[in-house]
């Protein structure tokens, strides 16, 4: 019999992210069980993805006593100087309304055409192990923004993000991708790949 999987808390109340990270951990054959965080949300007053990820991971580690993973991610648009960036979840206000955020971003870029709609998803994942240390890793996923949403899959800005590397004429937004396709290529997947050796060492 194998050892019991090590429980690792994911510092988010977003069920989509818990499911996504568990799928990635399973695919990587890591002996970890990703569990949801039920504690209070800390104030994310950092000025970078890494700072905010660490704030969340530290809070979850303190609250649960478990190794804690936190992701801070967003979309960075070249013509907007890298915004929304760390403000991606609140771009349309403090309500954290994903549809309003997406619509506002499209409205701001209404007069911008290719090739000036370049953007990238960025994910920084922090791992905090109580009494042992802290680590951060990063993943970037380059692409561009569509003129209008397409697809009902994914979440957040997925329906307007067209990743680089697709066959011309057959390009799709991430909203049109399957979960398995996204898991294999996304910014979070790229950051998770860098996190795997750290989780394996637990």
Check whether 56 is labelled as a binding-site residue: no
Check whether 96 is labelled as a binding-site residue: no
Check whether 37 is labelled as a binding-site residue: no
**b/e burial code for range 176-194 (CB count within 10 A of at least 16 → b):** bbeeeebbeebbbbbbbee
**107 carries an active-site annotation:** no
Check whether 17 is labelled as a binding-site residue: yes
Check whether 72 is labelled as a binding-site residue: yes
Check whether 158 is labelled as a binding-site residue: yes
Check whether 73 is labelled as a binding-site residue: yes
**b/e burial code for range 97-126 (CB count within 10 A of at least 16 → b):** ebeebbeebbeebeebeeeebbbbbbbbbb
- Compute the distance between CA of residue 121 and CA of residue 76 in angstroms, rounded to an integer: 6
Q: Which of 71, 72, 97, 111 is catalytic?
A: 72
Cβ partners under 8 Å of residue 60, min gap 6: 9, 10, 11, 37, 39, 66, 68, 70, 128
Check whether 63 is labelled as a binding-site residue: no
Residue whose C-alpha is closest to residue 127's, from 189, 74, 173, 195? 195
Check whether 101 is labelled as a binding-site residue: no
Check whether 13 is labelled as a binding-site residue: yes
CB of 183 closer than 8 Å to CB of 24: yes
Check whether 15 is labelled as a binding-site residue: yes
Q: Which residues are annotated as a binding site for Mg(2+)?
A: 72
Annotated binding site for substrate: 12-17, 73, 155-158, 182, 187-188
Q: Could you list the residues known to form a binding site, using ranges.
A: 12-17, 72-73, 155-158, 182, 187-188
- Catalytically annotated residues: 72
């Amino acid at each position: 019999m194998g050892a019991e999987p090590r429980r690792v808390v994911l510092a988010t109340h977003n069920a989509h992210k818990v499911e996504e990270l568990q799928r990635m951990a399973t695919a990587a054959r890591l002996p970890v069980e990703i569990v949801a965080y039920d504690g209070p949300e800390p104030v994310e007053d950092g000025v970078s993805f890494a700072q905010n990820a660490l704030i969340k991971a530290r809070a979850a580690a303190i609250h649960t006593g478990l190794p804690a993973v936190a992701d801070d991610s967003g979309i960075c648009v070249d013509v907007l100087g890298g915004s929304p960036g760390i403000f991606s979840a609140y771009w349309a206000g403090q309500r954290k309304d994903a549809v309003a955020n997406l619509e506002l971003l499209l409205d701001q870029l209404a007069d911008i055409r290719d090739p000036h709609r370049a953007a990238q998803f960025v994910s920084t994942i922090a791992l905090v192990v109580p009494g042992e240390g802290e680590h951060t890793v990063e993943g970037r996923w380059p692409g561009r923004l569509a003129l209008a949403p397409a697809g009902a899959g994914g979440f957040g800005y997925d329906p307007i993000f067209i990743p680089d590397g697709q066959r011309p004429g057959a390009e799709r937004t991430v909203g049109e991708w399957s979960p398995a396709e996204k898991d294999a290529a996304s910014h979070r997947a790229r950051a998770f790949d860098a996190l795997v050796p750290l989780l394996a060492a637990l």
